């Protein structure tokens, strides 16, 4: 029986730094936009975090989690082949993708905790 390879890639992927060198990206959320070769990093900020004169383009955003708590986040642009006029759109789309991912992650935790109780 022949098996056809799927050579397509999704629009967004998280990068995994786990290799024979160890997990070089442990604890970091690195997101790549495939079509534009854009590499972004996302951070959850606490009250004491100060971002002054970053060496890369950044954008702060708020996220309300599934528990109704407001969280402050930052997205940083590490690299892109996109034109400067496309970067803001790509960053906004990355923020929306990340919000949906975190919603999914939170829902998974709720389901896991609920199933433990039963």
Q: For tokens 């998974």, name the residue.
A: 108
Rounded-to-integer distance, Cα 46 and Cα 73, Å:
9
CA angle 97, 44, 30 (to 5 degrees): 50
Q: Is 3 left (phi over 0), alpha (psi -120 to 50) or beta?
A: beta
Q: If we measure between CA atoms, which residue out of 105, 42, 49 comes closest to residue 74?
A: 42
Residue by residue, pLDDT tens for the chain (118 residues) are 899 999 999 999 999 999 999 999 999 999 999 999 999 999 999 888 877 778 899 999 999 988 899 999 999 999 999 999 999 999 999 999 999 999 998 888 777 667 666 5
The full set of domain ranges for the chain reads: 12-117
Half-sphere exposure of 54 (CA within 13 A, CB side): 14
Contact 74, 43 (CB under 8 A): yes
The pair of three-digit structure tokens given for residue 107, joined into one six-digit string: 């829902």
Three-state DSSP state, 82: coil
């Amino acid at each position: 029986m022949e098996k056809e390879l799927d050579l397509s890639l999704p629009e967004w992927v998280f990068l995994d730094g786990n290799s024979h060198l160890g997990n070089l990206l442990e604890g970091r959320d690195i997101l790549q936009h495939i079509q534009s070769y854009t590499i972004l990093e996302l951070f959850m900020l606490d009250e004491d975090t100060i971002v002054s004169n970053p060496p890369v383009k950044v954008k702060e955003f708020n996220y309300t989690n599934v528990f109704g708590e407001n969280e402050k986040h930052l997205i940083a642009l590490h690299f892109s082949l996109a034109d400067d006029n496309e970067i803001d759109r790509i960053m906004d789309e990355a923020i929306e993708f990340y919000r949906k991912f975190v919603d999914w992650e939170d829902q998974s935790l709720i389901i896991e905790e609920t199933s433990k109780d039963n």
